[in-house]
A and B are shown apart, each in its own frame.
Chain A
C-alpha cells in the first residue's frame, strides 16, 4: 500500500487520470473497460503469476502502452528477463520520485 501511495504521490499534479488496481482481478476489470497510455507495475508478482499480462495490456503487434516496472529485485538476470518480456523501463526501490515523474511526462508526450 505504501509503495502504491508513493507512486500516486509522484504523479500528483500532472494533467493525467490515474487509476490504481490493487490486485490482479481489479487490473483485469480495468483493462476490459479502458485503454491506457502508460502502465506502471509495482512488484514482479503479477508478471510471474501466469496471467497473460502483456497480451492483456498490449494488442499485437503494437508496442503501446509503455510498461514501467518498479520493484525491489536487483538481480541482473531478473532485470534482463523482464526487459526481454516487454518491460520498457525498469526501476528499483528506493525510487527517485523526480526521475519517475520526468519519465512519465516524457512517455505521455510521446504517446
Chain B
C-alpha cells in the first residue's frame, strides 16, 4: 500500500512539473509572438506613414514576416495611425484595407462575435476609414440589447457620415455617460467638424446638451453662463447639479436665488463635496457666505487655510 502511495506521489509530482514546464513554455511562446507582432506593426506604421507623407501610397508593400493575424494587425495599425496623425488622407488607407481583404475579415468577425468582443471590433471599425461592407454588417446590430454594442454601432455610423453626427447623437436611445461623451467629442475632432455650443443647448435633446456642456468645460467657454443658469432652474436634479459644478469650474458668480433651491436638496455629503470644489476653484469667503450656514462656512475657512499652506510651501521651495 505504501509503495502504491509513493508511486502515486511521484506520478503526481511528475505531472505537476510537466504542467509547470508546459505553462512556462506557452508563456514564452506567447511573449515571443507578441514581440514579433510589435516589431511588425512598428515597421508597417513607419513605412506606411512615409509612403503617405510622400504621396506615394502605391509604393507601399506589407513587410514579410511570420505573424499570425496580419489582417487584424494591419487594421489596428491603420486605426492607430488615423487616431494619432492629423490630416491623413483616408482614401489610400481605404484602398489598402480593401486590397488586403480587411473589410471581409472584419465583417466576418463582427457576425460571429458577441458582447464586449463585438463592441471592441465595432470600435476598431469606427477608427478605420469607412468601408461599405463593414458598415452594413455593423448596422445590423443597432438594436442590440448590449449597451456597449449599441454605442459602438453609433460610433461606426457617425464615422461613416460625419455630417450626421449631431442627428445620430440626438437619436441615441440612452443618455450619454461621460465616457461616451468623450468618444463622441473625439470623433467630432477627428472629423474636423466645426462645433458650436449654442445650437446644442437649444436643440432640446439631452444628449446634445451633455455634449454642449462637455465642450464648455473643455474650452472654458464663459459665454455659456446663461444656458447653464437656465438648466439650474429646471426640475431635473442631475442636470442642475452638472450645470452647478460646471459654473463652479468656470468660476462664474453663483446667485443665491438660483443656487439656494438646489443646495437645499443636497445631502450633507454632497454639500461638503461642493465646498471642496469651491475651495479648489479659489472662491472667496464673501462669495460663498450667502449660500452656506455658519458651520459650513467655518469648514470652508479651514479647507481654504489648508490649501493656502500648500501654496506657501510650494513658493518657498
Chain A residues proximal to chain B, CB less than 8 Å: 1-6, 8-9, 12, 74-76, 93-97
Flag if B80 contacts A3 (CB, 8 Å): yes
Given contact pairs A74-B218, A95-B84, A6 touches B49 in the complex (Cβ within 8 A)? yes
- Write the residues of chain B forming the contact surface with A, with a CB cutoff of 8 angstroms: 38, 41-42, 45-46, 49-50, 53, 77, 80-87, 189-190, 217-220
Question: Is the beta-carbon distance between A94 and B190 smaller than 8 angstroms?
Answer: yes
**Within 8 Å CB of B45, what residues of A?**
1-2, 5-6, 9
In-complex Cβ contact of A2 among B41, B50, B87, B219 (8 A): B41
List A contacts of B84 (CB < 8 A). 2-3, 6, 93-95
On whether the beta carbons of A94 and B86 are closer than 8 Å, the reply is yes
Closest A-B pairs by Cβ, 4 of them:
A2-B80, A94-B86, A5-B45, A96-B86
A95 CA to B219 CA, complexed, in Å: 19
Q: Decide: B77 and A2 in contact? CB cutoff 8 A.
A: yes
A74 contacts across to B, CB distance below 8 A: 218
Q: How far is the CA of A72 from the CA of B77 in the complex (A)?
A: 17
Complexed CA–CA distance, A32 and B226 (Å): 55
The residues of A that contact B83 with a CB separation of less than 8 Å are 93-94
Q: Across the interface, which residues of B come within 8 angstroms of A93, CB to CB?
A: 83-84
Q: For the complex, would chain B's binding face be called helix, strand, loop or mixed by DSSP majority?
A: helix
Contact partners of A6 in chain B: CB under 8 A: 45, 49, 81, 84-85
Q: Report Cα–Cα, A75/B249, bound state, in Å.
A: 12
Q: A74-B218, A94-B85 are in contact. Are A9 and B38 (CB under 8 A)?
A: no
Docked-complex contact A2 and B81, CB < 8 angstroms: yes
Q: Across the two chains, which residue of chain B brings its CB closest to A99?
A: B86
B46 touches A9 (CB 8 A): yes
Distance of B107 from chain A, by nearest CB (Å): 24
User: A94–B87 Cα gap in the complex (Å)?
Assistant: 8
Chain A residues with CB under 8 A of B82: 94
Pick 5 A–B contacts, CB within 8 A, sort by A: A2-B41, A6-B49, A76-B218, A94-B83, A97-B85
Contact indicator A12/B80 (Cβ below 8 Å): no
Residue of B nearest to A4 (CB): B42
Does the CB pair B42–A5 fall under 8 Å? yes
Contact of A76 among B81, B87, B220 (CB under 8 A): B220
Q: In the complex the two chains form, is B49's CB within 8 Å of A9's CB?
A: yes
State the Cβ distance, A65 to closest chain B Cβ, in Å: 22
List chain A residues, Cβ under 8 A from B41.
1-2
Of the listed residues A1, A4, A95, the one surrounded by the most CB atoms of chain B closer than 10 A to its CB is A1
Cα–Cα distance between A93 and B79 once the two chains are bound (Å): 13
Instruction: Across the interface, name the chain A residue whose C-beta is closest to B81.
Output: A2
B57 smallest CB distance to A (angstroms): 15
Separation of A38 and B50 alpha carbons in the complex (Å): 23
CB distance from A100 to the nearest CB of B (A): 10
In whole angstroms, how far apart are the Cα atoms of A19 and B190 in the complex? Answer: 30
Whole-angstrom CA separation of A94 from B80 in the bound complex: 10
Contacts of A95 in B (CB 8 A): 84-86
Residue of A nearest to B49 (CB): A9
Shortest CB-to-CB span from B47 to chain A, Å, is 9
Chain A residues in 8 Å Cβ range of B87: 94, 96
